[in-house]
């Protein structure tokens, strides 16, 4: 994309209504615009990052054997009355009436709807296990929406639901989700710690929240610092293996880590003092096992191996896709702007032309743009006739991890400058070497999951022979 043709309404000043870093930087970087309290339009740059996050979630869900689908945003109140949650859910549910005076609601979650789908089509244990998920817009009528996309009323969420014959099988689904979530967050450059949590209106006894540590987090958290040393890495997982998934759950949850709702002071005090930590965290996902709560209430049964009808065991599993975008910014920024991890950056590399209108500089930037595109990368070329300082400020604000700077002086020596946004360090390379280096950096982040695109290897010297 050429910046002169892109819609990027950046702001120079901090918006007065933004109270936390992510909200402020998303507004300044032209990623969102408020439509109503807690409701936002996603502008092109924000939408690109949202899609990057969504794609990673899809890839890891499919890798774990879960099946994507899509349910409506508007549900009938009858299903919620059947489960007993219509009156119990609270004022966060937006209740509406259609023109025929039928009670409807804007989906805050979809346990009832997916249970109705299941009971209509599945009747035998032979069709189990089954896990389906969607990524869909939800609405919860927060009394005080704030912090931008971190606590909005409308939000984009992955919600998945498992159906199993036994508690053992359902707990395997729980463990499988925990493993897939660890992979998902690490691919986004985040350390999300699974913490014992409260189930809230979803219900159930077994539940973990995934929290990213940040000063602006809404939850107080208590944990053993040893949990922050754990990484999932690139280990291969057999998601059908009960033992392997259970061992990973035990590895990542055996150390003390709890939200304030489930904090146990006695257990916390048993941790060596030098490892006790009290901080704040941003919730970016939660997994639940709730047994037969909904299947009992709504008649979701299957015929077991002995021919008897039994209610299925269920769980639900959510990831806040739009909230993740804010959490990543909270965890990765500086006083100049956002610093995107490579896995979710909207553009892989920025190109800055220091002397727009100079024939040699213009030609060099065009060739860089073509060469990066040819190896499957998306560059953002700042081809505006602006001062160099303004171009650098824009690149720093929007947070692209890597920048290639092109100027007449460097071109005389056959080099361009490759700069890391995170460290600020720069190195002079030939244009071919710069393209090769950027392609190598992104190689681990491309085609990372099931269904991921595969890109060709970088071709040394491609498209540069005309001017070197």
**Mean pLDDT for each consecutive 10-residue tract of the chain (468 residues)?**
95 88 96 95 98 97 97 96 91 95 95 94 97 97 89 95 97 97 96 82 70 88 95 94 97 94 94 96 93 92 96 96 96 96 97 94 96 96 94 97 96 96 96 96 72 34 32
Angle, CA 282 vertex, CA 276 and CA 283 arms, to 5°: 105
pLDDT of residue 218: 83
pLDDT of residue 199: 55
Alpha-carbon distance of 133 to 321, in angstroms, equals 13
Q: Phi first, then psi: give them for residue 213, nearest 5 degrees.
A: -70, 130
Q: 294 to each of 117, 221, 446, how far by Cα in Å?
A: 13, 30, 39
Q: Give the closest residue to 313 by CA, choosing from 116, 112, 108, 128.
A: 128
Task: List the 103-106 sheet strands across, edge first.
Answer: 74-76, 103-106, 94-97
Q: Give the closest residue to 242 by CA, choosing from 164, 161, 306, 304.
A: 164
pLDDT of residue 462: 34
> pTM here?
0.91
Q: Give the closest residue to 291 by CA, choosing from 206, 210, 208, 209.
A: 206
pLDDT of residue 452: 38
Who contacts 33 (Cβ-Cβ below 8 Å, separation ≥6)? Answer: 27, 40, 41, 43
pLDDT of residue 459: 31
């Amino acid at each position: 994309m050429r910046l002169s043709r892109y819609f990027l309404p950046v702001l120079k000043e901090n918006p007065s209504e933004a109270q936390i870093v992510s909200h402020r930087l998303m507004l300044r970087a032209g990623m969102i615009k408020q439509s109503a309290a807690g409701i936002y339009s996603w502008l092109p740059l924000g939408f690109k990052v949202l899609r990057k996050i969504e794609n990673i979630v899809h890839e890891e869900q499919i890798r774990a054997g879960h099946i994507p689908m899509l349910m409506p945003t508007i549900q009938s109140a009858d299903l919620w009355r059947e489960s007993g949650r219509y009156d119990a859910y609270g004022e966060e549910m937006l209740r509406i009436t259609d023109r025929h005076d039928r009670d409807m609601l804007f989906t805050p979650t979809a346990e009832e709807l997916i249970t109705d789908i299941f009971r209509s089509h599945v009747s035998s244990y032979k069709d189990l296990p089954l896990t389906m998920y969607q990524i869909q817009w939800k609405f919860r009528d927060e009394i005080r929406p704030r912090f931008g996309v971190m606590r909005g009323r409308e939000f984009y969420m992955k919600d998945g639901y498992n159906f199993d014959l036994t508690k053992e099988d359902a707990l395997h689904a729980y463990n499988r989700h925990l493993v897939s979530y660890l992979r998902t967050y690490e691919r986004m450059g985040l350390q999300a710690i699974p913490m014992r949590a409260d189930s809230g209106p979803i219900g159930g006894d077994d539940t973990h929240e995934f929290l990213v540590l940040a000063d602006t987090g809404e939850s107080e958290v208590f944990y053993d610092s040893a949990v922050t040393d754990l990484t999932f890495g690139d280990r291969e997982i057999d998601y059908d293996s009960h033992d392997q998934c259970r061992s990973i759950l035990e590895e990542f949850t055996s150390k003390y880590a709890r939200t304030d709702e489930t904090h146990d002071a006695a257990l916390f005090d048993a941790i060596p003092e030098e490892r006790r930590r009290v901080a704040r965290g941003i919730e970016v996902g939660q997994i639940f096992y709730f047994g037969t709560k909904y299947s009992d209430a709504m008649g979701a049964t299957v015929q077991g191996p002995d021919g008897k009808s039994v209610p299925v065991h269920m769980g639900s599993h959510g990831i806040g896709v739009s909230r993740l975008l804010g959490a990543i910014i909270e965890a990765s920024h500086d006083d100049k702007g956002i610093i995107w991890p490579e896995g979710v950056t909207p553009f892989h590399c920025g190109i800055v032309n220091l002397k727009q209108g100079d024939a040699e500089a213009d030609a060099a930037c065009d060739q860089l743009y073509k060469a990066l595109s040819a190896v499957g990368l998306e560059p953002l070329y700042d081809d505006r006739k602006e001062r160099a300082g303004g171009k650098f400020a824009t690149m720093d604000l929007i947070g692209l991890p890597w920048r290639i700077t092109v100027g007449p002086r460097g071109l005389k020596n056959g080099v361009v400058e490759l700069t890391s946004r995170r460290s600020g360090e720069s190195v002079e390379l030939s244009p071919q070497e710069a393209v090769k280096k950027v392609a190598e950096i992104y190689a681990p982040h491309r085609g990372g999951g099931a269904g991921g695109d595969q890109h060709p290897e970088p071709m040394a010297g491609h498209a540069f022979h005309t001017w070197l």
